[in-house]
């Protein structure tokens, strides 16, 4: 005898992209690339959204903090950022918040580049920029509303803006570091 099964109902679930990664190869050693990335005052040179960085006075034993001033068209806003990872020359990351609400973790992972069909690393660096969305739960909904009002982006639009921004940032970083090092782009 067949038992009645559960009622078949379809619930529509929204999938939300909470992580992004983009990568580039830079013709410079990881130490040089890390030195550029960890100098957060240089971020406006590369980022299409960040226009200024203000370092905050550092308390003893605390991780460095800074304010990022950002722009999207005519919209301007600022974020409070705190360095969470400073592992030279392998990784640099910072946590972003607005009005005390967690927004995201932004970071860079670096490793020596080993070209295909070779056994040794070159003087190049494989750089991966990553973004982790921290807007979750009830406070996440408030952060989403702030994002719409202040930056003019919905969560889905924010993913598109961030991906495009990461590609631009890495491209500009690559050219900046390679020009400073007098390097050439690896083939």
Give me the mean pLDDT over the 36-45 stretch.
97
Q: How far apart are CA 10 and CA 12, in angstroms?
A: 6
* End-to-end CA, the chain: 68
> pTM of the prediction?
0.84
Please check the confidence at residue 106 and state whether its pLDDT lies above 90. yes
* pLDDT tens digits, one per residue of 120-150: 666 899 999 999 999 998 888 888 888 888 8
């Amino acid at each position: 005898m067949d038992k009645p099964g559960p009622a078949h109902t379809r619930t529509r679930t929204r999938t939300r992209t909470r992580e992004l990664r983009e990568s580039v190869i830079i013709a410079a050693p990881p130490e040089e690339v890390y030195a550029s990335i960890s100098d957060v005052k240089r971020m406006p040179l590369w980022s299409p959204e960040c226009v200024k960085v203000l370092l905050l006075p550092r308390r003893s034993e605390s991780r460095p903090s800074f304010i990022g001033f950002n722009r999207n068209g005519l919209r301007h806003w600022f974020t409070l950022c705190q360095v969470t990872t400073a592992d030279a020359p392998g990784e640099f990351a910072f946590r972003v918040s607005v009005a005390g609400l967690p927004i995201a973790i932004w970071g860079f992972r670096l490793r020596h580049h080993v070209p295909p069909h070779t056994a040794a690393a070159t003087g190049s660096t494989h750089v991966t920029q990553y973004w982790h969305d921290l807007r979750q739960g009830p406070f996440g909904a408030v952060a989403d509303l702030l994002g719409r009002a202040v930056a003019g982006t919905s969560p889905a639009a924010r993913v598109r803006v961030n991906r495009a921004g990461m590609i631009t940032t890495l491209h500009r970083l690559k050219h900046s570091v390679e020009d400073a090092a007098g390097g050439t782009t690896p083939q």
